[in-house]
Structure 1
Amino acid sequence: RSNYVSTTKYSAVTFIPKSLFEQFRRVANIYFLVVACLSYTPIAPFRGATAVGPLVLVLLVTMVKEAIEDWRRKQQV
């Protein structure tokens, strides 16, 4: 066995599941997910895309930021 220690948080295979798990640990993201789901019901006064769009944008920007941070962490070793 080797004594290899990984300082990265993600791998290519586990990036999306782990990142989404980390994103939805935040209460604000869960709130906006619930609002987005409710916006597709008949009682919603607005269209669903107006709630899903900002949520997806925030998730994507945060996931890209985490990927860049993890890549830089890997490059330091």
Structure 2
Amino acid sequence: MQICSFIDARTEGRTCENVNALGGLFFLSSLLLSYDPTTSVLRELLVDHILRALLEPISGVFLAALAFGQAGFTE
């Protein structure tokens, strides 16, 4: 309530309802932007890229050890 009266004094008579409506509009627009489907796709691609960067060296070492082990058994 104190913030609302402070806003009324600073905006030269603009009512609290107008300020709350603007705040609600801003909240809804930010909510819509956060549920944008492209952000979830980008997030999945980023996680996939990070996991791949972490797991590829490990899998490369594992495959090299497996190939070395296979070569050792066949000779």
Q: Same fold (TM over 0.5)?
A: no
Structure 1 length as normaliser, TM-score?
0.34
Higher Cα Rg: structure 1 or 2?
A: 2
Q: Which has the higher contact order (CA 8 A, sep 6+)?
A: 1
Structure 2 length as normaliser, TM-score?
0.35
